[in-house]
Structure 1
Amino acid sequence: MALLAMAGATTAGAQARASGGGMRRDRLIGDSVVVDMLAPLSLDLGPAPYARTLTAEEAQAFRSSGVTVMHNAAGVGGPDAQTRVLGYLAGWNGFIAAHADLFLLARRVGDFDRAKATGRIAVIMGVQNADHFRSPKDVAQFHQLGQRCAQLTYNSQNLLGAGATERVDGGLSDFGAAVIEQMNAVGMLVDVSHCGDRTTLDAIEASKGPIAITHTNCRALVPGHPRLKTDEAIRKAAAKGGVIGISGVRNFVRGEEPTSVEHIVDHIDHVVRIAGIDHVGLGSDSDLNGYDRMAPDQLAKLKAGYASSYGFRQRLDTDGYDHPRRLFDLTDALIRRGYTDAQIRAVLGGNFRRLLGEVWK
């Protein structure tokens, strides 16, 4: 499939939503450094989605998205993880360099401002796993290669701890604690989005500084979902200065229909109530067009890679959050919900910017 499946992809309904009014919304997005802490540049499951050139239409979709910073990360694990992550970083770094008029690699928070000032998007390189760290010393090597964020686990058990869908969560291992220590030392963000409950709490406690839950939602609103975080985890992450990024994946947003942007804001409201406005941000967990426009065979392959407890329904994208300008719709919803300008700027990116400024030494 095309990198963003852009050709003919934007529906008339999405275009109408995107082109609607909203001077306050447009001003807020225009003035903000908007950070999406899980926004893969592509959901293409092919061997090298970075080995191509964007079309003019695809490039315009990025430019008009309102996003200043995208965290590009994929789940890479297994015995050959180190080799695969090296190829992943090299490929995407090459893609960013080949599209230097549109993207720049984010190595420090100052790059966010540079991207905003030049009309580009800063790309944070991350990995949704830590299998490629064969020893704690590897953290520094991958930091030098541009990696700035690492999840400790994906959905299953690895040497660091347990993933969210493991049957038993034994918590953070000694090796996991040693890796966190090195991540703290070099300035790489610790991410526990896919960790099991005990591993999540152990990691928050083990880290000397704040951690992130870059893309999750609140289990209190979707009871029983293993990939979502408990109020205890959200509070403890926030108490250490962490930020929780709210996802737009449909089965994370609501356990029943309908499922709309308003229900995404319900999760933002919940984090604000239990942890405060300074600890919530955005982590869409999809590329600009979402999952439902993937080629059917790729979408089926993607779903097959997850446990049944994920609870996938017919659609994966939330209504109104399935097009390149989705953050405009979300900002409209925050305005309707009564958030102030300062609060909306914090959610759109201010909170993650503060966190990354503290972690990226």
Structure 2
Amino acid sequence: MYFDAHSDIWTDVTVKREHGEKNVLKNHHLDRLRAGQVEGSIFVIWVERPDIQDYAIRTAQIKQAILDETAECDEVQIVHTVAEMKQARDAGKFYIWIGIEGMAAIGDDVSKVDEYYNFGCRHGMLTWNEKNLLGAGAATGLTDGLTEAGKNVVKRMQQLGMLVDTSHLNEDGFWDIVDVATAPIIASHSNCRALCDVPRNLTDEQLRAIRDLDGVVGLNSFTPFVHATKAKQTVEQLAKHADHMINIMGIEHVGCGFDFFEFCTPDVVGTMTDDPELSVAGMKDCSEIYKLFQCFDKLGLTKREKELIARENFTRVLEKTVG
């Protein structure tokens, strides 16, 4: 069984509900997730078209869609603690941690972090690809670190018991988080810059910093972060990212954060679907996660080591940070 630390499914739920659909999780997602042996995930609140949408308004719309959707679907359970997660799993429910992918909606009002927490969020990223009043995303190309508000958001998140996620943040902001963190941090869906030199991936120094805070990095199947050459955007190459992480950080700090896009359509993500092959060849969606773990067999990983990557490393970090 697998735990996926990053999915944008809430956005798909919101868009489909706006088109009049109900029970989106049951009708479009749960069968596929279960077939792929995904037992639970972090589903993030992600403002999918910031070029045409107001962050605060869209965030509120997605939150309402979450409430409406989960009220209809008794096959899923929103969880807030690891104990709740285990209870949901034992009950045969698909468990969901609510996360935030970018906090532009709060401006620089640190107190609004509590509103996320009270809604049920136990995970968060300060930015998506944009610059906001907390920091700058990796895609901006900026060297701005976190603002004072951004640093205080990190502190408040860890005080409350929210998992701080550095994926999408630029490198200067990353190091600011490392400086203020008092609990493990993660990069939920990032790969290794040594194997694919893009800003969204992590340097070996960053990987070691996450290790030193007892955090985890989730392997990302999104093709531009796997290899610059199309022919090498494969599940085998993704396994090489895992191997590199293991060599740099140790097996206890590698997990899954696949960022699958198989459900996305142009009305969800605009031009991001121009390339139909957004997930690595050989692992097109969650139904083929097992193929990555077959690659791990070829790397010589033991059953126990594969279990750590599949779910237990992230479970450890959630237990330490969220409870």
Shared fold (TM-score greater than 0.5)? yes
Amino acid at match of 2:285: H
CA shift, 1:302, in A, is: 3.7
Q: Trace 1:345-360 onto structure 2 (pairs within 5 A).
A: 345-360=307-322
Query: How large is the RMSD of aligned CA atoms in angstroms?
Result: 2.4
Deviation by residue 1:177-196 (Cα, 9 ceiling, x = unmatched): 11111101111111110011
For residues 142-157 of structure 1, what are the structure 2 equivalents within 5 Å?
142-157=116-131
Q: What is residue 224 of structure 2 aligned with on the other side? A: 251
**Which amino acid in structure 1 is aligned with residue 8 of structure 2?**
P
Quote the residue 1:40 is aligned against. 8
| Deviation for aligned residue 1:299 | 7.6
Check 1:232–1:139 CA distance in 2 against 1; reply closer, same or farther (3 A cut). same
- Where 1:301 maps in the other structure, the secondary structure is helix
Aligned structure 1 segments of 4 or more residues deviating by more than 6 angstroms: none
Task: State the distance in 2 between where 1:330 and 1:250 align.
Answer: 14
Question: Which residue in 2 is equivalent to 1:131?
Answer: 104
Aligned match of 1:331: 293
Shift of 1:201: 1.3
How many percent of aligned residue pairs carry the same amino acid?
25
- Please give the alpha-carbon distance, in whole angstroms, between the structure 2 residues aligned to 1:207 and 1:284: 25
How many angstroms apart in 1 are the aligned matches of 2:77 and 2:292? 25
> What's the CA shift for 1:53?
1.9
Structure 2 partner of 1:240: 213
> Any idea what SS the aligned residue of 2:138 has?
coil
Matches within 5 A, 1:1-20: none
CA distance in structure 1 between the partners assigned to 2:116 and 2:91 by the alignment = 27
Q: 1:230 maps to what in 2?
A: 203
Q: Say if 2:22 is the partner of 1:52.
A: yes
SS of equivalent residue, structure 1 residue 36:
strand
Q: CA deviation at 1:286?
A: 1.7
Segments of 5+ residues of structure 1 without an aligned counterpart are 1-28, 305-311
Aligned residues: 315
The residue aligned with 2:40 is: 69
Say which of 316, 323, 343 aligns to 2:278: 316
Residue 301 of structure 1 corresponds to: 270
Q: If each structure's helix is expressed as a fraction of its own residues, which one has the higher value?
A: 2
Q: Distance in 2 between matches of 1:112 and 1:335?
A: 28
Q: Distance in 1 between matches of 2:233 and 2:193?
A: 16
Contact 1:93 1:105 in 2 (8 A): no
2:256 maps to which residue? 282
Q: CA deviation at 1:269?
A: 0.7
Shift of 1:56: 5.7
* 3-state SS in 1 of match to 2:9: coil
* Matching of residues 146-295 of structure 1 within 5 Å: 146-223=120-197, 225-256=198-229, 257-287=231-261, 290=262, 294-295=264-265
Deviation, 1:273, is: 0.5
Indicate whether 1:99 and 2:68 are aligned: no
Distance 2:205 2:276 in 1: 31
Query: What SS does the aligned partner of 2:42 have?
Result: strand
TM-score by length of 2: 0.90
Distance in 2 (CA, whole Å) between partners of 1:148 and 1:93 is 16
Structure 1 contact 163–169 (Cα < 8 Å) conserved: no
Mapped partners of 2:194, 2:124: distance in 1: 26
Could you tell me how far apart the structure 1 residues matched to 2:101 and 2:269 are? 20
Could you tell me how far apart the structure 2 residues matched to 1:354 and 1:300 are? 33
Between the two structures, name the one with larger relative contact order (CA 8 Å, sep ≥ 6).
1
1:80 and 1:250 map into 2 onto residues whose CA distance is 28
Greater shift, 137-146 or 43-52, is seen at 43-52
* SS of alignment partner, residue 7 of structure 2: coil
1:282-308 alpha-carbon deviations (Å, 9 max, x no partner) = 001125xx26xx44x44872429xxxx
Partner of 1:6: none
Q: In the alignment, is the contact (CA less than 8 A) between 1:48 and 1:91 conserved in 2?
A: no
SS of structure 2 residue aligned to 1:317: coil
